[in-house]
Amino acid sequence: MTAIEKEDLDYQYSPSRWSHRFDAEAVVQDHVRVVQTETDKARAQLQCELDVSYGDREGDKLDIYKPDNCRSDAPIFVYIHGGYWQFLSKDQSGFTAIPLTAAGVMVVAVGYDIAPKGTIDVMVDQVRRAVSFLSEKFPSSSGLYICGHSAGGHLGAMVLSSDWSKVRDGRVPAIKGAFLVSGVYDLTPLVKTYVNEPLKMTEEDARRNSPCLFSAAVVKNHPKCKVLVVFGEHDAPEFHRQSKEYTEQLKGLGMEVSCVEIPDTDHFNVVHNLAEEHYQLTKMVIVEMLSS
């Protein structure tokens, strides 16, 4: 690969450089400000259980935000944060909680060990175990709904592709829906980009953890799971392409899946606008979770 080709690939996978609202540095700063502010607000206003352990690793922690008078059968929105597997944490991931708990939904923010502490394999294992843990902890829930953004979209898709016989007690969690927001479903292009510097993925690592290569497992494990693949109008073209191709893969296998481009959003506010009750995606999530 020439230096020019690498520079172009880096550009294609630099979502902050495609925003229509701010320059690259400012759009990331704005995103961090919004998710942190809204998470702090949720923690101050809602009934929470913070730093709940779902395993033995130091990073095996999650936060639970409950509605008032929480029903035992409340649906659970499981949020997996983005940050290119090397940034952010569950401590900025409760920003969806106020509008969703107001609708009777329980919200869980999953933590995992970002790079360089965690490898891609470690992170995938962690989120799978977190989902399995939640399935055991809340057996009366009407269903789990996975939501992941960016790197979290990738991890959410890998959850759907799990071999559950190798996770905890081997039971298949009742995942009724998935909202995959601006995700990456083929990691192989990232191996030669700046994104891989702290991850240190090999080509084999990337293939082993690319959801697009394991889409048949989604049908096998969760044939009735409804999948919504989302991206922003001003996401980078590679995120558009990967979202559309993953959608078509799942459709071709008979899954109930739809793909939605959210107008006037970029890679960042396409997800952090979930803090707003009247936002298009917030309303879609609530309708889906309460009607299933």
Q: Given 31, 222, 267, 272, which residue is catalytic?
A: 267
Active-site annotation holds for 240: no
Active-site annotation holds for 222: no
Q: Given 132, 150, 215, 243, which residue is catalytic?
A: 150
Active-site annotation holds for 162: no
CA–CA separation, 286 vs 267, rounded Å? 21
Strand partners, 61: 53
Closest CA to 211 of 154, 133, 168: 154
Residues marked as catalytic: 150, 235, 267
